[in-house]
């Protein structure tokens, strides 16, 4: 505790701690650990949220189109092994195509106006989701993809289906101020009325467990199924949700911008891939079809492979000009709140520490010998060390202002840091030892200071006397 006494004495000596007054004593008496701890928790929480509101959110979108049953052309690849034996591989080229795949993101609470072309497409919802349109081959000869792994959502009586495709979207949740991650568990069924009865689901949603593998960032899965027992030319399905690719006031991320990452894998070609919003956007232009870019959407060219499959990765930085004001308002609110909480916390911490310090002094009265040692040795040492650091910081600030910098080899940065802290430690030890030796010889800093002041006065008096003598000689 003597170290605390020395620290407090140094602060008092430097003039940062005023003398006790009646108001200060009253505030000290009212201070408590509970109030200080509550303010500390609130300050940490607001500081965390303030810091996170400047982080750029990334929406991960893994889109997978799987064929369960569709129209394909079959061909065989023939080859020969090194031992001379021949082999053949059966391959399938899809005749069905996805005419358009649209990812729709909602960042506004308002519905689209009546004349908006996206109104009917989104069923007049202020929700995010995806919309799929397919062009189907009317050839009744279909092929069941044997590579598809059936799960609990597999269709019943698959032989009666003319086509069946699953389009799934895995995405992530942007962290919020509150420690909750919302997910959905839903299962929708459509009944196709025929004489035997055929039931297939139209869409479902499920939660994904967090893991450390390549899919660790995804925590939600949405899937819709395009299927029918009749031969059709086109098919269209859509799926919407309140928690897909969206931000709100309490999102722990910047509201005025974000990043979109797309991984698109499909067993059939995709003619048109669109990313749409219900607010105006500004988006990075690389890889975007310029003639389709407008204020609320952009399109991405999806190149298919020779066998008609798709494997595409894309990432875009998107800005929301109309949300920048909301981000600014939120920042101003948090800045004001953080400033007030920080001031209250530090004030309460000061008075609570002062209360503890006064209570300790009542229980442990400092001896006269220790008080003398504080005044004559440790307080002067602390003042010299503190003023040395102030001078060092001032010199560094001045060099930065005038544009001067020391050139350092990047390979020795760690060595420079170690040397810097080592020099500071050695300097502190030398100061302590030097003044301790002077103290042992009963030579004190105040005496040295008084001698220096008296020498300066004597020097000034001598200068004045010399000037007077010169004046007399001149006369």
The fraction of the chain above a pLDDT of 70, given in percent, is 79
pLDDT of residue 380: 80
Q: Is 94 exposed, middle or buried (0-12, 13-18, 19+ CB in 10 A)?
A: buried
Q: Are residues 105 and 18 in the same domain?
A: no
Instruction: Identify which has the larger pLDDT, 1 or 256.
Output: 256
Most confident of 188-202, 211-225, 368-382: 211-225
Distance CA 275, CA 102 (A): 6
Instruction: Identify which has the larger pLDDT, 164 or 160.
Output: 164
When pLDDT is cut at 50, 70 and 90, the band that residue 4 belongs to is low
Q: What is the mean pLDDT of residues 391-396?
A: 90
Backbone angles phi, psi at 62, to 5 degrees: -105, 110
Return mean pLDDT, the chain. 81
Structural domain span for residue 236 = 56-323
Distance CA 462, CA 456 (A): 10
Distance CA 174, CA 156 (A): 37
Distance CA 273, CA 303 (A): 11
Distance CA 248, CA 280 (A): 16
Distance CA 262, CA 269 (A): 16
When pLDDT is cut at 50, 70 and 90, the band that residue 42 belongs to is very high
pLDDT of residue 222: 93
Q: Are residues 147 and 251 in the same domain?
A: yes
In a domain, 385, yes or no: yes
In a domain, 452, yes or no: yes
Q: Are residues 390 and 439 in the same domain?
A: yes
Instruction: Identify which has the larger pLDDT, 57 or 193.
Output: 57
Q: Are residues 6 and 149 in the same domain?
A: no
Q: Answer whether 202's CB lies under 8 Å from 190's CB.
A: yes
In a domain, 386, yes or no: yes
In a domain, 71, yes or no: yes
- 114 has pLDDT over 90: no
Tell me which of 63-72, 114-123, 293-302 is least confident.
Answer: 114-123
Tell me which of 140-144, 237-241, 308-312 is least confident.
Answer: 140-144
* Dihedral (CA of 459, 460, 462, 467) sign: positive
- 342 has pLDDT over 70: yes
Quote the number of domains for the chain: 2
CA diameter of the chain: 137
Q: DSSP for 382-429?
A: HHHHHHHHHHHHHHHHHHHHHT------GGGHHHHHHHHHHHHHHHHH
In a domain, 471, yes or no: no
């Amino acid at each position: 505790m003597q170290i605390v006494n020395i620290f407090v004495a140094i602060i008092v000596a430097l003039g940062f701690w005023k003398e006790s007054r009646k108001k200060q004593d009253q505030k000290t008496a009212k201070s408590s650990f509970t109030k200080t701890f509550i303010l500390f928790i609130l300050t940490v929480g607001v500081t965390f949220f303030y810091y996170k509101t400047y982080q750029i959110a990334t929406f991960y979108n893994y889109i997978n189109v799987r064929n369960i049953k569709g129209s394909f052309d079959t061909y065989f690849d023939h080859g020969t092994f090194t031992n001379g034996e021949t082999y053949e591989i059966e391959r399938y080229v899809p005749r069905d195509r996805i005419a358009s795949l649209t990812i729709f993101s909602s960042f506004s609470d308002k519905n689209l106006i009546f004349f908006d072309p996206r109104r009917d497409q989104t069923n007049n919802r202020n929700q995010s989701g995806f919309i799929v349109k397919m062009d189907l081959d009317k050839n009744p000869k279909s092929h069941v993809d044997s590579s598809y792994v059936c799960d609990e959502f597999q269709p019943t009586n698959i032989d009666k289906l003319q086509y069946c495709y699953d389009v799934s979207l895995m995405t992530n949740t942007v962290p919020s101020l509150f420690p909750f991650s919302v997910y959905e568990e839903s299962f929708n069924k459509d009944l196709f009325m025929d004489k035997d009865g055929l039931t297939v689901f139209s869409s479902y949603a499920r939660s994904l467990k967090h893991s450390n593998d390549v899919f660790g960032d995804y925590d939600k899965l949405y899937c819709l199924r395009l299927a029918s027992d009749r031969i059709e030319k086109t098919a269209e399905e859509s799926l919407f949700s309140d928690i897909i690719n969206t931000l709100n006031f309490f999102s722990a991320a910047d509201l005025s911008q974000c990043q979109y990452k797309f991984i698109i894998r499909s067993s059939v070609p995709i003619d048109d891939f669109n990313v749409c919003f219900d607010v105006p956007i500004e988006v990075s232009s690389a890889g975007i079809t310029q003639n389709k870019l407008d204020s609320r959407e952009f399109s991405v060219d999806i190149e298919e492979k020779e066998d008609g499959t798709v494997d595409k990765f894309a990432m875009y930085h998107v800005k929301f000009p109309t949300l920048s004001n909301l981000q600014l308002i939120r920042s101003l609110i948090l800045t004001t709140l953080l400033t007030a909480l920080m001031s209250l916390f530090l004030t309460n911490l000061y008075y609570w520490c002062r209360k503890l310090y006064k209570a300790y002094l009542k229980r442990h009265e400092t001896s006269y010998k220790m008080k003398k040692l504080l005044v004559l040795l440790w307080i002067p040492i602390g003042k010299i060390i503190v003023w040395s650091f102030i001078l060092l910081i001032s010199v560094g600030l001045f060099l930065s202002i005038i544009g001067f910098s020391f050139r350092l080899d990047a390979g020795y940065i760690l060595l420079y840091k170690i040397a810097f802290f080592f020099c500071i430690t050695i300097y502190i030890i030398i100061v302590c030892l030097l003044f301790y030796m002077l103290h042992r010889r009963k030579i004190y800093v105040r005496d040295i200071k008084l001698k220096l002041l008296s020498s300066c006065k004597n020097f000034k008096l001598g200068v004045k006397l010399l000037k007077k003598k010169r004046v007399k000689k001149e006369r």
